[in-house]
Chain A
């Protein structure tokens, strides 16, 4: 139970879950698997089939793209990744590698989709985040 509460405490500080009620957070925590990975672990590679969604709870990870593995972003506590390949069933668009010891909460593809369907507070936040990114992408295009 203590472990579950610990996970809830971490999750409620993640922006994606900020609008969740206590009950909704307990639901997410019930299905999320907290996993610790050593530095250098490749969580998935570009082109892989997606099977999970991740929320960073501790440590950091690099997002790498392309042949040389160009670093495009670094993720830290509160960040999430891995949802695109689950939303459109297309291959992973980038690789994610743990920079140091990494703690993530992992949600399987199926339960992730179920949670999006059943908990609008999460899907709205996710849509808002995606919309923000779309806006940013267009702004870069315009520039």
Chain B
């Protein structure tokens, strides 16, 4: 075959291949609308368009090196599904056109880097082709999905090895501790990762009254699922109280004498992300109690500064069982 003909054939194949893989992509490129049932490019592509990981690594040895010891790299090295067996192309799409074009970013069906032109929903679809269970089950329709966030906005796949990444993350930011986790594929450790966008929470974590977030004993995902949950505020549990009570189980009750605002919503009185007031209170005592209790005598007094209702534990100097009492004489939460 003459070289000219070969070039023409490669050219035609490249164009056809590129068109095949970019047609659906360009149609969606004008928006980043989340797809309700987007199939991954890999799963959707004809079988003949795959070249295999062995071909990819002939040029992309560095990428291979940064992937092979990751959790995904190891999982794909022991494939259980057809998708696993596709290796690089399971996420990046079929590589035939890319190979035939002799390389080039534009011929990679799905790219995840910062300069990627692949629409978010296609990038996410590549992840969701496997990650459909567990924490990711409610990704569709979640607030982060609705705001066209890509999985790779938070996650990194080519991170070397868990140990390397662990060491890197530990030195990224020494301002916050982070609980031990096997998930090292995030771009930053928690809570720093979440605080990049949720800056108000960053401010609240600095408060004098706080749960052990800064110390790395509790973190954002201790209460929230950023991938979406059917519950309010993407909480892990069905309600705010169930969330709080999952750690503070002693306050679950049922109690003989219950304080209804407590049983209905802990955040009626507390600010879980941090407060300048003692005990994470939204407003310090006695005003937090005065807000509701307008009966007679001492609950209705403004209270001078030196009052026992004011200093130390405030109202709970006496009404210490305020979260509920099981004492037969505990109707005023004194016992």
Bind each other: no
